[in-house]
Amino acid sequence: MIHMTRRSTLAALAAAALPGAARAGEATWPDRTVRFIVPFAPGGPVEIPARFIADRLTHSFGQNVIVETKPGAGGALGIQSVVQAADPHVLLFTTSSVAILPALLANPGYDPFRDLVPISMVSEVPMALLVRPDWPVPDLAAFLQQAKAKPQRFSFASSGTGSTTHLAGELLKAKAGIDILHVPYRGGAQAVNAVYAGDTDMLITGLIEAIPHVRDGRLRALAVTAPQRSPALPEVPSLAEAVPGYGITIWYAMFGPPGTPPAVVQRLAGAMAPLRQGTPLAERMTESGATLLLDGPGPLAARMRAEVPLWKEIVKAAGIQAG
Protein backbone atom coordinates (compact mmCIF):
# COMPACT_ATOMS: atom_id res chain seq x y z
CA MET A 1 0.00 0.00 0.00
CA ILE A 2 1.34 3.43 -0.92
CA HIS A 3 1.02 6.16 1.72
CA MET A 4 1.06 9.82 0.64
CA THR A 5 1.55 12.75 2.97
CA ARG A 6 -0.60 15.85 2.64
CA ARG A 7 2.40 17.73 1.20
CA SER A 8 3.15 15.06 -1.45
CA THR A 9 -0.53 14.86 -2.39
CA LEU A 10 -0.69 18.61 -2.98
CA ALA A 11 2.53 18.50 -4.99
CA ALA A 12 1.17 15.72 -7.19
CA LEU A 13 -2.06 17.59 -7.78
CA ALA A 14 -0.14 20.76 -8.68
CA ALA A 15 2.06 18.88 -11.12
CA ALA A 16 -0.95 17.29 -12.78
CA ALA A 17 -2.52 20.69 -13.20
CA LEU A 18 0.48 22.27 -14.92
CA PRO A 19 -0.07 20.96 -18.48
CA GLY A 20 -3.66 22.11 -18.44
CA ALA A 21 -2.67 25.52 -17.12
CA ALA A 22 -0.04 25.85 -19.81
CA ARG A 23 -2.57 24.94 -22.47
CA ALA A 24 -4.99 27.49 -21.06
CA GLY A 25 -2.28 30.17 -21.26
CA GLU A 26 -1.58 29.26 -24.86
CA ALA A 27 -5.29 29.33 -25.68
CA THR A 28 -5.58 32.91 -24.43
CA TRP A 29 -2.58 34.14 -26.45
CA PRO A 30 -2.35 36.99 -27.21
CA ASP A 31 -3.46 38.59 -23.95
CA ARG A 32 -1.66 41.88 -24.61
CA THR A 33 -0.04 43.85 -27.44
CA VAL A 34 2.02 41.81 -29.90
CA ARG A 35 5.18 43.48 -31.23
CA PHE A 36 6.84 42.73 -34.55
CA ILE A 37 10.52 43.67 -34.28
CA VAL A 38 12.02 44.67 -37.63
CA PRO A 39 15.81 44.76 -37.09
CA PHE A 40 16.49 47.50 -39.63
CA ALA A 41 16.12 51.26 -39.97
CA PRO A 42 12.62 52.66 -40.52
CA GLY A 43 11.28 52.83 -44.06
CA GLY A 44 12.78 49.64 -45.44
CA PRO A 45 10.86 47.30 -47.78
CA VAL A 46 10.39 44.63 -45.10
CA GLU A 47 8.05 47.03 -43.29
CA ILE A 48 5.46 46.82 -46.09
CA PRO A 49 4.35 43.24 -45.37
CA ALA A 50 5.04 43.64 -41.66
CA ARG A 51 2.60 46.54 -41.30
CA PHE A 52 -0.05 44.96 -43.53
CA ILE A 53 0.04 41.69 -41.60
CA ALA A 54 0.10 43.53 -38.26
CA ASP A 55 -3.06 45.40 -39.22
CA ARG A 56 -4.87 42.23 -40.28
CA LEU A 57 -3.83 40.32 -37.17
CA THR A 58 -4.97 43.18 -34.93
CA HIS A 59 -8.49 42.59 -36.25
CA SER A 60 -8.18 38.79 -36.08
CA PHE A 61 -6.80 38.60 -32.54
CA GLY A 62 -8.59 41.50 -30.88
CA GLN A 63 -5.25 42.75 -29.56
CA ASN A 64 -2.99 45.40 -31.01
CA VAL A 65 -0.19 44.13 -33.22
CA ILE A 66 2.42 46.82 -33.79
CA VAL A 67 5.67 47.12 -35.76
CA GLU A 68 8.85 48.44 -34.13
CA THR A 69 12.21 48.99 -35.82
CA LYS A 70 15.41 48.21 -33.94
CA PRO A 71 18.37 48.67 -36.29
CA GLY A 72 22.02 47.98 -35.59
CA ALA A 73 24.86 45.57 -36.41
CA GLY A 74 23.30 44.54 -39.70
CA GLY A 75 20.16 43.33 -37.96
CA ALA A 76 21.85 41.50 -35.10
CA LEU A 77 20.72 43.93 -32.38
CA GLY A 78 17.05 43.58 -33.24
CA ILE A 79 17.33 39.80 -33.39
CA GLN A 80 19.05 39.75 -30.01
CA SER A 81 16.27 41.86 -28.49
CA VAL A 82 13.68 39.28 -29.51
CA VAL A 83 15.76 36.39 -28.20
CA GLN A 84 16.36 38.15 -24.88
CA ALA A 85 12.69 39.07 -24.45
CA ALA A 86 11.78 35.36 -24.43
CA ASP A 87 8.14 36.40 -24.78
CA PRO A 88 5.87 35.06 -27.56
CA HIS A 89 4.30 38.52 -27.73
CA VAL A 90 7.64 39.82 -29.11
CA LEU A 91 8.25 38.39 -32.58
CA LEU A 92 10.98 38.85 -35.17
CA PHE A 93 9.99 40.05 -38.66
CA THR A 94 13.17 39.97 -40.69
CA THR A 95 14.96 39.18 -43.95
CA SER A 96 17.19 36.35 -45.13
CA SER A 97 20.06 38.19 -43.44
CA VAL A 98 19.11 36.17 -40.36
CA ALA A 99 20.71 33.16 -42.08
CA ILE A 100 23.76 35.16 -43.22
CA LEU A 101 24.82 36.93 -40.02
CA PRO A 102 26.15 33.76 -38.32
CA ALA A 103 28.58 33.42 -41.24
CA LEU A 104 29.72 37.05 -41.07
CA LEU A 105 29.94 37.66 -37.32
CA ALA A 106 32.09 35.66 -34.95
CA ASN A 107 29.40 36.21 -32.32
CA PRO A 108 26.07 37.39 -33.77
CA GLY A 109 24.46 37.12 -30.33
CA TYR A 110 22.07 34.35 -31.27
CA ASP A 111 22.05 30.75 -32.42
CA PRO A 112 19.90 30.53 -35.57
CA PHE A 113 18.57 27.11 -34.61
CA ARG A 114 18.42 27.16 -30.82
CA ASP A 115 17.23 30.73 -30.26
CA LEU A 116 14.70 31.26 -33.05
CA VAL A 117 11.43 29.39 -33.52
CA PRO A 118 10.26 29.37 -37.16
CA ILE A 119 6.72 30.66 -37.62
CA SER A 120 6.43 31.27 -41.36
CA MET A 121 8.12 32.40 -44.50
CA VAL A 122 6.42 35.65 -45.51
CA SER A 123 7.63 36.33 -49.04
CA GLU A 124 10.55 35.89 -51.40
CA VAL A 125 11.85 37.72 -54.44
CA PRO A 126 14.67 36.86 -56.85
CA MET A 127 17.59 39.11 -57.54
CA ALA A 128 18.67 40.16 -61.02
CA LEU A 129 21.97 40.67 -62.82
CA LEU A 130 21.68 44.07 -64.48
CA VAL A 131 23.91 45.71 -67.09
CA ARG A 132 23.71 48.86 -69.21
CA PRO A 133 21.70 48.48 -72.43
CA ASP A 134 24.82 49.17 -74.50
CA TRP A 135 27.05 46.72 -72.60
CA PRO A 136 28.84 44.78 -75.38
CA VAL A 137 28.20 41.30 -73.97
CA PRO A 138 24.87 40.20 -75.45
CA ASP A 139 23.58 37.55 -73.05
CA LEU A 140 24.17 35.27 -70.08
CA ALA A 141 25.94 32.54 -72.05
CA ALA A 142 28.40 35.01 -73.57
CA PHE A 143 29.08 36.58 -70.19
CA LEU A 144 29.88 33.23 -68.57
CA GLN A 145 32.07 32.20 -71.48
CA GLN A 146 34.08 35.42 -71.41
CA ALA A 147 34.30 35.46 -67.61
CA LYS A 148 35.79 31.96 -67.63
CA ALA A 149 38.28 32.91 -70.34
CA LYS A 150 39.44 36.10 -68.65
CA PRO A 151 39.35 36.06 -64.82
CA GLN A 152 38.54 39.43 -63.18
CA ARG A 153 37.71 41.00 -66.54
CA PHE A 154 34.26 41.86 -65.23
CA SER A 155 33.10 43.51 -62.02
CA PHE A 156 29.79 43.50 -60.16
CA ALA A 157 28.35 46.01 -57.74
CA SER A 158 26.42 45.11 -54.60
CA SER A 159 24.74 47.01 -51.80
CA GLY A 160 27.62 46.22 -49.44
CA THR A 161 30.05 43.59 -48.23
CA GLY A 162 28.18 40.65 -46.72
CA SER A 163 24.83 41.71 -48.16
CA THR A 164 22.59 39.15 -49.83
CA THR A 165 23.39 40.73 -53.19
CA HIS A 166 27.11 40.35 -52.52
CA LEU A 167 26.81 36.72 -51.47
CA ALA A 168 24.62 35.97 -54.48
CA GLY A 169 27.57 37.05 -56.61
CA GLU A 170 30.01 34.95 -54.59
CA LEU A 171 27.71 31.95 -54.97
CA LEU A 172 27.68 32.54 -58.73
CA LYS A 173 31.48 32.62 -58.78
CA ALA A 174 31.64 29.32 -56.89
CA LYS A 175 28.95 27.53 -58.90
CA ALA A 176 30.00 28.80 -62.34
CA GLY A 177 33.75 28.59 -61.79
CA ILE A 178 34.36 32.23 -62.69
CA ASP A 179 36.27 35.07 -61.07
CA ILE A 180 34.58 38.47 -61.22
CA LEU A 181 35.54 41.44 -59.07
CA HIS A 182 33.19 42.52 -56.30
CA VAL A 183 32.75 46.28 -55.79
CA PRO A 184 30.72 47.06 -52.64
CA TYR A 185 28.69 50.24 -52.29
CA ARG A 186 26.80 51.77 -49.39
CA GLY A 187 23.32 50.75 -50.43
CA GLY A 188 21.51 49.79 -53.60
CA ALA A 189 21.10 53.34 -54.93
CA GLN A 190 24.85 53.92 -55.06
CA ALA A 191 25.35 50.54 -56.75
CA VAL A 192 22.80 51.42 -59.45
CA ASN A 193 24.50 54.75 -60.09
CA ALA A 194 27.86 52.99 -60.44
CA VAL A 195 26.50 50.83 -63.26
CA TYR A 196 24.93 53.85 -64.97
CA ALA A 197 28.27 55.66 -64.78
CA GLY A 198 30.21 52.69 -66.13
CA ASP A 199 32.22 52.28 -62.93
CA THR A 200 31.21 48.60 -62.77
CA ASP A 201 30.02 46.17 -65.42
CA MET A 202 26.99 44.83 -63.66
CA LEU A 203 24.82 45.02 -60.58
CA ILE A 204 23.11 42.36 -58.51
CA THR A 205 20.00 43.68 -56.81
CA GLY A 206 16.53 42.59 -55.76
CA LEU A 207 13.90 42.29 -58.46
CA ILE A 208 11.70 44.85 -56.71
CA GLU A 209 14.42 47.45 -57.25
CA ALA A 210 15.39 46.09 -60.69
CA ILE A 211 12.03 46.01 -62.46
CA PRO A 212 11.53 49.80 -62.87
CA HIS A 213 14.98 50.18 -64.46
CA VAL A 214 14.42 47.22 -66.79
CA ARG A 215 10.91 48.18 -67.86
CA ASP A 216 12.04 51.74 -68.58
CA GLY A 217 14.90 50.43 -70.72
CA ARG A 218 17.55 52.06 -68.56
CA LEU A 219 19.15 48.74 -67.63
CA ARG A 220 19.11 45.26 -69.14
CA ALA A 221 18.60 42.06 -67.15
CA LEU A 222 21.00 39.22 -67.99
CA ALA A 223 19.43 36.74 -65.58
CA VAL A 224 17.44 36.26 -62.39
CA THR A 225 18.79 34.36 -59.40
CA ALA A 226 15.77 32.18 -58.57
CA PRO A 227 15.85 28.53 -59.67
CA GLN A 228 13.23 29.37 -62.30
CA ARG A 229 12.26 32.37 -64.40
CA SER A 230 10.22 35.15 -62.83
CA PRO A 231 6.68 35.74 -64.12
CA ALA A 232 7.47 39.46 -63.81
CA LEU A 233 10.29 39.15 -66.40
CA PRO A 234 9.47 35.92 -68.26
CA GLU A 235 11.87 36.63 -71.11
CA VAL A 236 14.87 36.79 -68.75
CA PRO A 237 16.59 33.43 -68.09
CA SER A 238 17.31 32.09 -64.64
CA LEU A 239 20.96 31.56 -63.75
CA ALA A 240 20.13 27.89 -63.17
CA GLU A 241 19.55 27.47 -66.90
CA ALA A 242 23.28 28.03 -67.46
CA VAL A 243 24.65 27.24 -63.98
CA PRO A 244 23.05 24.01 -62.69
CA GLY A 245 22.31 24.06 -58.98
CA TYR A 246 22.25 27.83 -58.68
CA GLY A 247 19.24 29.34 -56.98
CA ILE A 248 18.90 32.00 -54.31
CA THR A 249 16.34 34.64 -53.35
CA ILE A 250 15.85 37.44 -50.87
CA TRP A 251 13.20 36.36 -48.39
CA TYR A 252 11.26 37.72 -45.44
CA ALA A 253 10.15 35.61 -42.50
CA MET A 254 8.69 35.61 -38.99
CA PHE A 255 10.30 33.91 -36.00
CA GLY A 256 9.40 33.58 -32.35
CA PRO A 257 11.83 33.69 -29.42
CA PRO A 258 13.03 30.49 -27.72
CA GLY A 259 10.23 28.66 -25.98
CA THR A 260 7.44 29.95 -28.22
CA PRO A 261 4.66 27.35 -27.74
CA PRO A 262 3.68 25.29 -30.80
CA ALA A 263 0.06 26.41 -30.31
CA VAL A 264 1.12 30.05 -30.74
CA VAL A 265 3.08 29.19 -33.88
CA GLN A 266 0.08 27.41 -35.34
CA ARG A 267 -2.30 30.21 -34.45
CA LEU A 268 -0.10 32.79 -36.13
CA ALA A 269 0.52 30.65 -39.21
CA GLY A 270 -3.16 29.83 -39.50
CA ALA A 271 -4.21 33.46 -39.22
CA MET A 272 -1.73 34.59 -41.88
CA ALA A 273 -2.34 31.85 -44.46
CA PRO A 274 -5.60 33.32 -45.84
CA LEU A 275 -3.74 36.55 -46.73
CA ARG A 276 -1.86 34.75 -49.53
CA GLN A 277 -4.55 35.41 -52.13
CA GLY A 278 -6.98 38.17 -52.95
CA THR A 279 -5.42 40.83 -50.73
CA PRO A 280 -3.80 44.16 -51.61
CA LEU A 281 -0.52 42.79 -50.26
CA ALA A 282 -0.64 39.75 -52.56
CA GLU A 283 -1.36 41.99 -55.55
CA ARG A 284 1.45 44.38 -54.66
CA MET A 285 3.91 41.53 -54.26
CA THR A 286 2.99 40.03 -57.62
CA GLU A 287 3.35 43.37 -59.40
CA SER A 288 6.85 43.82 -57.94
CA GLY A 289 8.05 40.34 -58.87
CA ALA A 290 7.77 38.89 -55.36
CA THR A 291 5.78 35.91 -54.12
CA LEU A 292 3.70 36.01 -50.95
CA LEU A 293 4.22 32.66 -49.17
CA LEU A 294 2.78 32.55 -45.63
CA ASP A 295 3.18 28.77 -45.66
CA GLY A 296 3.87 27.97 -42.03
CA PRO A 297 6.91 26.87 -40.01
CA GLY A 298 8.05 23.84 -42.04
CA PRO A 299 9.35 25.59 -45.17
CA LEU A 300 11.08 28.26 -43.06
CA ALA A 301 12.84 25.65 -40.93
CA ALA A 302 13.99 23.88 -44.10
CA ARG A 303 15.25 27.15 -45.59
CA MET A 304 17.31 27.86 -42.47
CA ARG A 305 18.78 24.35 -42.47
CA ALA A 306 19.85 24.82 -46.09
CA GLU A 307 21.10 28.41 -46.05
CA VAL A 308 22.92 28.82 -42.72
CA PRO A 309 25.61 26.25 -43.63
CA LEU A 310 25.62 27.40 -47.28
CA TRP A 311 26.52 30.98 -46.38
CA LYS A 312 29.16 29.85 -43.90
CA GLU A 313 30.76 27.85 -46.70
CA ILE A 314 30.56 30.71 -49.22
CA VAL A 315 31.90 33.32 -46.79
CA LYS A 316 34.83 31.08 -45.91
CA ALA A 317 35.61 30.25 -49.55
CA ALA A 318 35.44 33.92 -50.56
CA GLY A 319 37.68 35.01 -47.69
CA ILE A 320 35.14 37.53 -46.44
CA GLN A 321 36.32 38.84 -43.10
CA ALA A 322 33.95 37.96 -40.28
CA GLY A 323 33.36 40.54 -37.60
Residues 138-190 have pLDDT tens digits of 999 999 999 999 999 999 999 999 999 999 999 999 999 999 999 999 988 99
Q: What is the pLDDT of residue 28?
A: 87
Which of the residue ranges 8-12, 71-75, 195-199 would you say has the lowest mean pLDDT? Answer: 8-12
Residue 164 near residue 96, CB atoms below 8 Å: yes
Query: Both 187 and 276 in a single domain?
Result: no
Q: Do 154 and 228 reside in the same domain of the chain?
A: yes
User: Which structural domain, as residue segments, surrounds residue 87?
Assistant: 32-124+250-318
pLDDT at 227: 96
Rounded to two decimals, what is the model's pTM? 0.89
CATH of the domain at 158: 3.40.190.10
For the stretch 272-298, pLDDT in tens is 999 999 999 999 999 999 999 999 999
Mean pLDDT of 81-102: 98
Please indicate, yes or no, whether residues 176 and 226 belong to a single structural domain of this protein.
Answer: yes
| Whether residues 201 and 227 fall in one domain | yes
* Residues 120 and 259 grouped into a single domain: yes
DSSP of 287-318: HTT-EE----HHHHHHHHHHHHHHHHHHHHHH
The band of 323, judged by pLDDT with boundaries at 50, 70 and 90, is low
How many Cα atoms within 13 Å fall on the side-chain side of residue 182? Answer: 22
Q: Total structural domains in the chain?
A: 2
> How many CB atoms neighbour CB 107 within 10 A?
9
What is the pLDDT at residue 322? 62
User: What is the per-residue pLDDT for 10?
Assistant: 41
pLDDT for 30 equals 97
**Greater pLDDT, 17 or 110:** 110
Mean pLDDT to the nearest integer, 6-22: 43
Cα 46 to Cα 161, 222, 230, 284: the distances in Å are: 20, 26, 20, 13
Cβ proximity of 140 and 233 under 8 Å: no
Instruction: Give pLDDT, residue 321.
Output: 77
DSSP 4-32: --HHHHHHHHHHHHHHHHHHHHHHT--SS
Is the pLDDT score of 15 beyond 60? Answer: no
Residue 80 sits in a domain whose CATH number is 3.40.190.150
Q: Residue range 9-34: average pLDDT?
A: 58
- What is the average per-residue pLDDT within 194-209? 95
Rounded-to-integer distance, Cα 153 and Cα 115, Å:
43
The verdict on 171 and 150 lying in the same domain is yes
Same-domain check for residues 104 and 88 = yes
Instruction: Convert the pLDDT of each residue in 37-48 to its tens digit.
Output: 999 999 989 999
pLDDT > 70 fraction of the chain, expressed in percent and rounded:
91
Bridge partners of 92?
Answer: 37, 255
